[in-house]
A and B are shown apart, each in its own frame.
Chain A
């Protein structure tokens, strides 16, 4: 059969190297290059990217050098030590524990949980939505009833109950408990786009080309809704920092001996702390605000890079 094509085209194996080189020269830039040129076009987003990456690296590495149990020991002598002193850069809380060190270890814990939660729940939610939307019919019906059931459960209360009945838990188990409840929004969002996307002709063309269902779902449809996935992931990352923080604030997140952004903000429960000892809670609150803002900036750039009509970057 190959001869059949040889007959009707002047191109033969000898031209292959030359022609593919010519084509390479005319090739459209890769996704990574497009994202980078988008960042270069948007200075605040570039700054935000450096803030996020720098901060996460600093916190992850810094926490390795801090002896957490020793740091969490009560030190009466440093009771509400003033900030900006050589020993306590950001002061100390009511137990005389360094706020700066707690901030580093606490950020590591909170961000770690947020990253883990985002990866697990988004992966699951995306797969659930894609499969449900693509196959439609009875499969969709069944999967959506499971979704409805999960949505019906009171999420915060379930997490609080699970946390109380599990005797020993740490940040890893907490991440898994959160993940059970946080995939739903993503899955519904992805499903709605998949429903629209799988009606398009290129999906039909793939099917007539003999591509399997799974390949169509993950190699054809998923790249086409990647802008939605990226935006959803960045936003849910920002939100997930808040999830752990909120529960720790209520006292049901991480155990009290494990510092986190939430436990630090819960210092603000005490009116005395709010009025006089601002350094016990303000740094953590500021950190969350800055981090979430920076993440949403980066998310916007990624969305623009994924959608050709919104691009601002020069190179194309």
Chain B
């Protein structure tokens, strides 16, 4: 059985117009997607901005109100807040946010930030809690003197690692990583990603890895879903997607990866333009 099963998930936002503010239309941010996440794997969700991948992630963690469809966890539909409460759902499913600065409360010390899920779900004694926070800081490679500092005193990479530590604190089964490294520069990206991989190996966590960066996704994910305009256009393993793309949108995304080999520059450009032309033709139909 899969860890989490998403069935025909739809998230629509109403558009209200006119004098009476009636609902006249809706934005279909997520429009009927279905996929499963297995325990211990990293599932990649790729798409351009505005394709609904973040909305999907937020629905899975329970932050977004779902219009229709279901998300099954332990056989329960967690799109209902009651079921989430009964299962202590967020103890098992946590989230890492894109913007590390705004996802850490600027008025709280690091100890309080990391201990927040522990206080709500585990009710440890004061010393045990502090010990757990210190261990978590150690696991993500931060010193103990971070304990009483504020988020703005850390660099972007360190902050993102604090975000990872908070997400791992309750030993969850699934972590939604919503573009966790897209705000970081390349060397720091590698550092944070390797910490995430290390934690996955040690704790057997699954990731739903949301990104628009195909290089990063290739590094992280076994299974990948390509998303466009609220729908999944292609699902497959890493090998399927990168070596045998079927859908034209996937081909176009892959063609957009810059080629470092200068000798093949012209060939790469030609193939990109060819894909773009097919894509445009299909769009206009």
Contacts and interface: CB of A to CB of B under 8 A. Distances in A.
B27 to A, nearest CB: 17
Interface in B153-194: 153, 163, 166, 171
Given A9-B138, A204-B95, A205-B97, A26 B130 contact: no
A201 B148 contact: no
A226 B135 CA distance: 32
A9 B62 CA distance: 31
Interface stretch (A17-25, A71-79, A229-237): A17-25
A4 B172 CA distance: 12
B33 interface: no
B131 A1 contact: no
B255 interface: no
Contact of A201 (B99, B136, B203): B99
Given A4-B203, A210-B120, A201 B102 contact: yes
A11 B94 contact: no
B90 interface: yes
B62 A202 contact: no
Interface string B104-129: 11111100000011001100000110
A191 B130 CA distance: 35
A209 B134 contact: no
B90 A208 contact: yes
A70 interface: no
Q: Which of B130, B134, B166 has the most CB of A within 10 A?
A: B134
A195 to B, nearest CB: 15
Contacts of A10: 138
Contacts of A202: 102-106
A24 B145 CA distance: 7
A223 B97 CA distance: 21
Contacts of B102: 200-202
A10 B102 CA distance: 31
A173 interface: no
A220 B104 CA distance: 10
Interface in A184-218: 200-202, 204-211
Interface residues of B, number: 49
Contacts of A16: 127, 130-131, 134
Contacts of A207: 62-63
A308 interface: yes
Contacts of A1: 171
A254 B109 CA distance: 48
A289 interface: no
Contact of A9 (B139, B150, B171): B139
B127 A13 contact: yes
Contacts of B3: none
A28 interface: yes
A26 B77 CA distance: 46
Contacts of A210: 88, 90-91, 117, 120-121
B144 interface: yes
A22 B145 contact: yes
A12 B163 CA distance: 22
A26 B166 contact: no
Contact of A11 (B95, B98, B138): B138
Nearest to A203: B105
Contacts of A314: none
A11 B106 contact: no
Contacts of B132: 2, 5
B256 interface: no
Contacts of B203: 4, 8
Contacts of A25: 145
A25 B203 CA distance: 32
Contacts of B147: 19-20, 23, 27
Nearest to A15: B134
Contacts of B163: 205
B134 A208 contact: no
A231 B11 CA distance: 41
B62 A208 contact: yes
Interface string B14-50: 0000000000000000000000000000000000000
Interface of A: 1-2, 4-13, 15-16, 19-20, 22-28, 200-202, 204-211, 220, 223-224, 226, 308
Interface of B: 58, 61-63, 88, 90-91, 93-95, 97-99, 102-109, 116-117, 120-121, 127-128, 130-132, 134-136, 138-139, 144-150, 152-153, 163, 166, 171, 202-203
18 contacts: A4-B203, A5-B136, A5-B171, A8-B139, A8-B203, A9-B134, A10-B138, A12-B131, A20-B134, A22-B145, A23-B147, A26-B148, A27-B147, A202-B104, A208-B93, A209-B166, A210-B91, A210-B120
